[in-house]
């Protein structure tokens, strides 16, 4: 084994830890994405009727497939009847929308109980039949087509008539036709009729019919109102008085404690260090811009020079501040064993604690959204690459410089280091050596 | 006359109620808030108040834990964690560190600690923001989270000996692969979101939103989950309401805390030895010092080179020159003002950029739409950010190339053939 390839223990630990860290943060993002993907995919499939206390967050794919594909093949007449039925329902929904807002509120909570009550009845009303077994079992319990139900009022005579017609037609298909029970409510009829449909509820077809339950709507609008209030009430007399009282309290706390305490707390030091890291990157970005700019006249040239000088001054100040922090840490806070900073949550934007308020991001096409998301990922990846590059530089360059002999193992190491540092590990260079011709 | 007398008679009762109401609001907005009676007992340092306050401080200082997770920490562990967190934040009183670990004492000191935390920042609001119920499909528009990662990582669990550089190459490859996967998954998620948003257009009661989000659609698909969401939402609403109440009434609390502080015996002023707390040791600051020094070095080189070129070149001379120079200096100063501010202590983000998570809303193309960020603008900003970062990365890689070439030495050493194309 080429010992030249091997790194020192200290460097190894740091480098491997950094790379593992990067890999872990990627993995975490991937996990979160996978979670969201599962939910979204499930929403776009045919909706599985929710069982009572459905424990499984991810429904078995077999039950979903059953509904549309393994369903019975209804006769053309049934299809027509069902079409009529669906159209009538949709029409009723449109008509009712404006009228029965009041009634709707009661429907949503009762959805579940109503559905549970109907499921045994529905099951009972379908004797197992050969051709329709798959279809009926797949859609036997209350589907969230029940959502549609919430907008269908209980009393509507012409509708009921239509439904019972459709119902009988459907029921007539079953091997052993059972009469619809006399006490059936509309919901049951809708259920038994709709459950013969070869298609379950899909977002694509019937998504626009959805409506959020009343209770939720109220809570959500109250929620955004409260957040808006919370993030806006910043100045008023009582607030000022409270602020003064708080400052005085803090001062008293400091003076009554026997211990003078550190000038800066550990959290504050850590926050400042992060701030300086951000600053360092911003300065480097700006320097990059200036160095790659192409001055066209002497004015631009001079301006570039001035900018670089100014940047130099700022870097000097940052270094000075950092050295002060080092002193604080040494003198007052005591050393710390090798390890990670306890990660304080930095407020976004680096300003004072921002209080969340609802903000929107408008997009107009899927393409746009994808571009946006891809760019975000790319920027995050570049940040990570730059960080890793700095770490690798710090550890690998000294390694190459320490090893003297120009033998093959050393060259191989150089090649590896070059690839890692200069090509992001993606490409390798070729080294040509001139061998002395054998005599 | 009679009315005035009546008002005066009512006042003391009001005043007596004000404090418990303020404390009740506070305790309702905080997670695991104890009753006002507990607060009163704590003022008199009654032992029965202590456990509840330790629990409260633990929840407040470790908000990232889920609601149930705090139960997995033993009371001693909670006490130790609270002590550590407070010291890290610079809590000035020593008495807290000296409280016993079993959590049986210290009501008054804990009350002071809570008040100290409340005085330093908008604690209830911050906690609410961190554990907020997300109703929309959100996407952050800034890269603050990306910048949050640097910092010396924890040493790896396995005490690795020396490592082969090829292992590093392998890890890099693995990382690239993961990024590619991530990109692909992200694109799929966006496509799905786009579909869900367009299939549910017109369904939302809030016209400015127009369509449902995944969370909202999910609650329709799964009524049980929907009920849970509703309960969480209602709980959050109650806490938000309580936070607003607290803001209105907190003055009386601070007056009361003055009396609590007065009731404490003054601490002796000899500095006792306190256990070490984890802080960023100077060793951890070394990489940043080196980085800044490296940056300084690069800038110095660039400046020297350009100044020399300037002096040697034709440049500007003469009376018009000094006026132009002043104007240029001012322009540069203004140009960099934002950057300077960002780098200075406590400065905000240099780019006056929007921050934080935004709810995604799909609009029809061409429709002006309501308030909110537009995706094309964000895309532009991200593109320019990407370009700048790429420049930095190329620069660093270029430096490495130069350095390696120098180390390998001039011919008659081996010839390096660089990989093709960039």
State both tokens at A424: 């992001």
Contacts with A217 from chain B: Cβ below 8 Å: 205
pLDDT at B236: 95
Planar angle of CA A214, A218, A219, nearest 5 degrees: 115
* In contact, A273 and B345? CB cutoff 8 Å: no
Q: If we measure between CA atoms, which residue out of A13, A15, A385 comes closest to residue B176?
A: A385
What does the pLDDT look like over A206-245, one tens digit per residue?
Answer: 888 888 899 999 999 999 999 988 888 666 666 788 889 9
Report the number of secondary-structure helices (H) and strands (E) in chain A: 15, 2
Secondary structure (DSSP) of B3-70: HHHHHHHHHHHHHHHHHHHHHHHHHHHSTTPPPHHHHHHHHTT-GGGHHHHHHHHHHHH-TTS-TTGG
DSSP A425: T
**Which one of B212, B251, B280 has the shortest CB-CB distance to A270?**
B280
What does the pLDDT look like over B2-59, one tens digit per residue?
Answer: 555 555 555 677 777 888 889 999 999 998 888 888 888 888 888 888 889 998 999 8
User: Sign of the C-alpha dihedral, residues A107, A111, A117, A121?
Assistant: positive
pLDDT at B162: 74
pLDDT at B187: 97
What does the pLDDT look like over A140-166, one tens digit per residue?
Answer: 444 444 344 444 344 443 433 333 443
Contacts with A233 from chain B: Cβ below 8 Å: 244, 247
* Residue A412: band (very low, low, confident or very high) from pLDDT cuts 50, 70, 90: confident
CB contact under 8 A, B200 and A37: no
In Å, how far are B5, B9, B14 from B1, measured between CA atoms? 6, 13, 20
pLDDT at B239 over 60: yes
Contacts with A6 from chain B: Cβ below 8 Å: 162-165
pLDDT at A360 over 50: yes
What span, in angstroms and rounded, lies between the C-alpha atoms of A131 and A74? 10
State both tokens at B299: 């800038």
CB contact under 8 A, B169 and A39: no
CB contact under 8 A, B240 and A278: no
What span, in angstroms and rounded, lies between the C-alpha atoms of B174 and B180? 10
What span, in angstroms and rounded, lies between the C-alpha atoms of A45 and A59? 11
pLDDT at A358: 82
User: Which residues are CB-neighbours of B68 under 8 A, at least 6 positions away?
Assistant: none
**Which one of A258, A321, A400 has the shortest CB-CB distance to B94?**
A258
CB contact under 8 A, B237 and A419: no
Q: Does B279 touch chain A (CB under 8 A)?
A: yes
Tokens 């019919």 belong to which residue? Answer: A209
Contacts with B194 from chain A: Cβ below 8 Å: 365-366, 369
Contacts with A384 from chain B: Cβ below 8 Å: 146, 149
Phi, psi of B74 (to 5 degrees): -70, 160
pLDDT at A426 over 50: yes
Which of A293, A352, A362, A393 to probe by mutation at the B interface, max B CB count within 10 Å?
A362
Contacts with A16 from chain B: Cβ below 8 Å: 156, 160, 163, 167-168, 171
Contacts with A255 from chain B: Cβ below 8 Å: none
In Å, how far are A298, B300, B315, B321, B419 from A309, measured between CA atoms? 16, 8, 17, 19, 36
SS3 assignment, position A296: coil
Contacts with A145 from chain B: Cβ below 8 Å: none
SS3 assignment, position B108: helix
Shortest CA gap B37–chain A (Å): 22
User: Which residues are CB-neighbours of A64 under 8 A, at least 6 positions away?
Assistant: A45, A46, A48, A200
CB contact under 8 A, B288 and A277: yes
Contacts with A363 from chain B: Cβ below 8 Å: 360-363, 375
Instruction: State in Å, rounded, how far the first CA of chain B is from the last one.
Output: 91
Tokens 């940056």 belong to which residue? Answer: B295
Shortest CA gap A303–chain B (Å): 6
CB contact under 8 A, A299 and B236: no
Secondary structure (DSSP) of A357-396: ---EEEE--HHHHHHHHHHHHHHHHHHHHHHHHHHHHHHH
* Residue A336: band (very low, low, confident or very high) from pLDDT cuts 50, 70, 90: very low
pTM of the model: 0.74
Contacts with A21 from chain B: Cβ below 8 Å: 149, 153
Q: Does B358 touch chain A (CB under 8 A)?
A: yes
pLDDT at B360: 92
Tokens 């003078």 belong to which residue? Answer: A260
The chain B residue lying nearest A229, using CA atoms, is B244
Q: Does B324 touch chain A (CB under 8 A)?
A: yes
Shortest CA gap B271–chain A (Å): 6
ipTM of the complex: 0.84
Q: If we measure between CA atoms, which residue out of A156, A178, A169 comes closest to residue A196?
A: A169
What span, in angstroms and rounded, lies between the C-alpha atoms of B192 and B214? 10
Please report which helix (H) or strand (E) contains residue B284, including its range: helix B282-312
**Helix, strand, coil percent content, chain B, rounded in steps of 5:** 65, 5, 35
CB contact under 8 A, A414 and B283: no
Which of A51, A337, A422 to probe by mutation at the B interface, max B CB count within 10 Å?
A422
Beta strands at A360-363 and B373-374: parallel, antiparallel or unpaired:
parallel
Shortest CA gap B4–chain A (Å): 24
Backbone φ/ψ region at B210: left (φ over 0), alpha (ψ -120 to 50), beta: left
Planar angle of CA A322, A326, A330, nearest 5 degrees: 170
Contacts with B146 from chain A: Cβ below 8 Å: 379-380, 383-384
What does the pLDDT look like over A238-259, one tens digit per residue?
Answer: 678 888 999 999 888 888 776 6
State both tokens at B249: 């009434």
What integer is the mean pLDDT of A75-95? 72
pLDDT at B179: 95
User: Sign of the C-alpha dihedral, residues A28, A32, A38, A41?
Assistant: negative
Q: Does B11 touch chain A (CB under 8 A)?
A: no
Alpha helices per DSSP H over A208-293:
214-232, 237-256, 266-292
CB contact under 8 A, A276 and B292: yes
CB contact under 8 A, A223 and B237: yes
What integer is the mean pLDDT of B171-192? 95
CB contact under 8 A, A40 and B257: no
């Amino acid at each position: 084994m080429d010992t030249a390839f091997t790194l020192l223990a200290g460097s190894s630990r740091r480098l491997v830890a950094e790379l593992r860290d990067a890999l872990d943060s990627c993995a975490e993002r991937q996990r979160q994405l996978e979670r969201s993907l599962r939910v979204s995919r499930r929403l776009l499939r045919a909706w599985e009727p929710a069982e009572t206390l459905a424990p499984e967050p991810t429904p078995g794919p077999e039950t979903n497939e059953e509904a549309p594909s393994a369903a019975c093949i209804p006769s053309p007449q049934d299809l027509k009847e069902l079409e009529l039925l669906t159209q009538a329902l949709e029409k009723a929904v449109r008509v009712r929308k404006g009228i029965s807002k009041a009634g709707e509120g009661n429907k949503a909570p009762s959805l579940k109980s109503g559905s549970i009550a109907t499921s045994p009845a529905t099951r009972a009303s379908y004797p197992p039949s050969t051709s329709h077994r798959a279809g009926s079992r797949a859609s036997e319990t209350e589907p969230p087509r029940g959502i549609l139900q919430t907008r269908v009022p209980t009393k509507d005579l012409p509708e009921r008539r239509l439904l019972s017609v459709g119902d009988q037609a459907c029921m007539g298909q079953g091997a052993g036709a059972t009469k619809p029970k006399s006490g059936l409510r509309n919901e049951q009829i809708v259920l038994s009729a709709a459950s013969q449909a070869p298609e379950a509820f899909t977002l694509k077809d019937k998504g626009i019919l959805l409506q959020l339950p009343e209770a939720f709507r109220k809570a959500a609008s109250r929620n955004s109102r409260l957040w808006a209030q919370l993030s806006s009430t910043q100045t008023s007399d009582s607030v000022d008085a409270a602020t003064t009282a708080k400052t005085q309290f803090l001062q008293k706390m400091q003076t009554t404690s026997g211990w003078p305490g550190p000038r800066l707390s550990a959290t504050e030091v850590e926050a400042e260090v992060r701030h300086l890291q951000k600053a360092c990157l911003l300065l480097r970005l700006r320097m990059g811009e200036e160095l790659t700019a192409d001055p066209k006249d002497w004015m631009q040239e001079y301006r570039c020079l001035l900018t670089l000088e100014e940047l130099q001054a700022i870097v000097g100040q940052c270094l000075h501040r950092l050295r002060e922090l080092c002193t604080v840490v040494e003198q007052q806070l005591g050393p710390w064993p090798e390890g990670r900073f306890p990660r304080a949550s930095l407020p976004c934007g680096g300003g004072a604690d921002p209080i969340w308020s609802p903000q929107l991001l408008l997009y107009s096409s899927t393409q746009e959204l994808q571009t946006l998301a891809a760019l975000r990922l790319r920027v995050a990846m570049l940040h990570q690459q730059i960080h890793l590059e700095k770490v690798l530089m710090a550890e690998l360059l000294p390694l190459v410089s320490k090893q003297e002999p120009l033998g093959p193992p050393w060259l191989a190491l150089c090649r590896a280091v070059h690839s890692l540092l200069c090509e992001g590990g993606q490409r390798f260079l070729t080294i040509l050596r001139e061998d002395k011709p054998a005599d | 006359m009679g009315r005035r007398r009546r008002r005066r008679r009512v006042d003391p009762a009001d005043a007596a109620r004000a404090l418990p109401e303020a404390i009740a609001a506070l305790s309702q907005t905080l997670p695991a808030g104890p009753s006002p009676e507990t607060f009163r007992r704590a003022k008199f340092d009654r032992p029965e108040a202590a456990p509840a306050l330790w629990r409260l401080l633990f929840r407040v200082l470790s908000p990232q834990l889920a609601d149930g997770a705090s139960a997995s920490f033993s009371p001693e562990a909670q006490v130790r964690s609270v002590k550590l967190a407070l010291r890290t934040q610079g809590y000035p009183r020593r008495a807290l560190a000296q409280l016993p670990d079993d959590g049986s004492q210290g009501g008054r000191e804990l009350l002071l600690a809570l008040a100290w935390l409340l005085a330093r920042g908008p604690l209830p609001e911050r906690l609410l923001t961190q554990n907020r119920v997300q109703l929309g499909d959100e996407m952050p528009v800034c890269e603050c989270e990306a910048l949050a990662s640097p910092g010396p990582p924890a040493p790896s669990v396995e005490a690795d000996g020396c490592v082969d550089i090829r292992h590093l190459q392998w890890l890099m490859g693995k990382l690239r692969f993961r990024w590619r996967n991530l990109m692909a998954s992200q694109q799929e998620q966006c496509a799905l979101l786009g579909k869900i948003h367009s299939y549910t257009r017109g369904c939302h009661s809030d016209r400015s939103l127009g369509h449902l989000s995944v969370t909202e659609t999910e609650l329709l698909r799964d009524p049980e989950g929907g009920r849970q969401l509703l309960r969480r939402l209602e709980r959050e609403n109650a806490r938000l309401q309580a936070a607003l109440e607290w803001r209105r009434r907190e003055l009386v609390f601070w007056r009361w805390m003055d009396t609590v502080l007065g009731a404490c015996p003054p601490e002796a002023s000899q500095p006792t030895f306190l256990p070490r707390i984890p802080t960023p040791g100077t060793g951890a600051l070394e990489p940043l010092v080196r980085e800044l020094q490296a940056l300084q070095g690069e800038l110095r080189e660039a400046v020297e080179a350009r100044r020399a070129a300037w002096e040697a070149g034709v440049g500007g001379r003469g009376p018009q020159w000094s006026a132009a120079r002043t104007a240029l200096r001012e322009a540069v100063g203004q140009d960099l003002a934002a950057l300077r501010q960002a780098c200075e202590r406590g400065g905000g983000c240099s780019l006056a950029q929007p921050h934080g998570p935004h709810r995604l809303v799909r609009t029809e193309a061409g429709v002006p739409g309501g308030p909110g960020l537009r995706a094309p603008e964000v895309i532009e900003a991200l593109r320019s950010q990407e370009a700048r970062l790429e420049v930095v990365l190329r620069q660093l890689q270029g430096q490495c190339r130069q350095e390696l070439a120098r180390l390998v030495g001039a011919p008659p050493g081996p010839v390096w053939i660089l990989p093709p194309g960039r």
